[in-house]
Structure 1
Amino acid sequence: MEKSHRLYLVYLSLMFSLVLAVVPLPAMVKLFRPDWPLLVLFYWALALPFRVSIGTAFVVGFLLDVLVGTVLGVNALAYSIIIYFCSAHHLKIRNFSILQQSLVIALFLAFYHYFIFWLSHFLTGVVFTMAYLWPVVTGAAVWPWIFWLLRRIRRQFKIH
C-alpha cells in the first residue's frame, strides 16, 4: 500500500468517529456518549503530530458543527485549542502509561466541555449541569480501547 493511501485510513477513522458522534441514541445513553472525534484526534495527534494537528482538528470540529447543528466554529475552535496543547506536549504524553494518559485525556476533555459550555452560555445562555461532565468519564474509560485499536491499525498498515 502506498504511503498516501495509508493516510486515508487516518481520515477514514476520523470520518467513522464523526458518524459515531451523530448516531441517534436514547436520551439516557446519549448523556454518556464519549467525544469520539476528539478521542480519535487525540490518538492521531499523539502518534502522528506532524500529519494530524491543528488544521485537521479544525476541519473535524467544523464538520462536527455542521453535523450536530451547533453554532459554526465552536467545536472547530475548541478542537484546535485542545489538539494544539496535545501536539505541543506529545512527547511527554506518549511516555505516560495508559492509565496516566487516560487521566490526561480526562483533563483535556474536561477543559473541552467547560470551553464549549462557556461559549454556549455566552452565545445562547445555557445553564451548567453535571451532565456536561459524563462524557469526560466515559471518554477516559474508553481511551485504552481506542488507543489499542488505532495503534493496531497504525502498525498493521505501517502508517507513519
Structure 2
Amino acid sequence: MWIKSGLLPLLLSYVVALVLTVMPIPAMFEPWRPDWISLVLIYWLIAIPHRVGFGTVLILGLLTDILMGTTFGIYATALVVMAYPALRHFQRIRNYSLTQQLLIVGVLILIKRALVYELEHVLNDAVFNWPYFYPVLSSAIIWPWVFLVMRRYRRRYLIR
C-alpha cells in the first residue's frame, strides 16, 4: 500500500537527504556541502505540490533542527519561507530550463541560509562567516544532477 501510493519512496528520499546532511566528509569539503534537504524539498515542491506542502516542509524543518542541534524552529522557519516561492510558482519553475532552475534554486537556498544565519545571530549571537554561504553555490551547481536523479526516481517508483 505505501509503495503503491509512493509514500514509502517519498519518505525514503527525505531520510536520504537528512543522512547526507550529517554524513561525515573530509574537512576541506565540509564548507561546500550542498544543502541536501533544501534540494530534495524544492524538487518535490515543484514536482508534486499537491502531495508535498507546508506541513511536510515544517516537519522536515523540525527534524533538521533536532538533527543539527539548533534552537528548535530555526530551520523549520527558514524552510517554510524558502518553500513559499517554490510552491507559489511551481508551474513556472517546472517550465524553466535547468540553467534557469539552477539560478532560482540558488536564490531560494540563499534566502534560507541568510534567514538561518539571521535567526542564529539574533538568538545565539552567531558570528558571520563567508564560508557559511558556500553551500548556496555548491547546491546551485549540483541542482541539474539532483533534478535528473530525482525525476528518474519519481518515475521509477510512480510517485504522483
Shared fold by TM > 0.5?
yes
Counterpart for residue 68 of structure 1: 68
Counterpart for residue 158 of structure 1: 158
Q: Following superposition, which runs of at least 4 residues in structure 1 exceed 4 angstroms of deviation? A: none
Quote the RMSD (CA, aligned, Å): 1.2
- Normalised by the size of structure 2, how large is the TM-score? 0.95
SS where residue 28 of structure 1 aligns?
coil
- Normalised by the size of structure 1, how large is the TM-score? 0.95
State the 1:68 CA deviation.
Answer: 1.1
State the 1:27 CA deviation.
Answer: 2.6
**How many residues end up aligned between the 2 structures?**
159
Counterpart for residue 125 of structure 1: 125
Counterpart for residue 19 of structure 1: 19
User: In 2, distance between residues paired with 1:20 and 1:104?
Assistant: 22
1:29-84 per-position Cα deviation (integer Å, ceiling 9, x unaligned): 11000110110000000000011111101111111110110111100111111112
- Segments of 5+ residues of structure 2 without an aligned counterpart are none
Of all paired residues, the percent bearing the same amino acid is: 41
What is the one-letter code of the residue matched to 2:26? P
Counterpart for residue 58 of structure 1: 58
> Superposed, which structure 2 residues align to 1:108-123 within 5 Å?
108-123=108-123
- Segments of 5+ residues of structure 1 without an aligned counterpart are none
State the 1:117 CA deviation.
Answer: 0.8
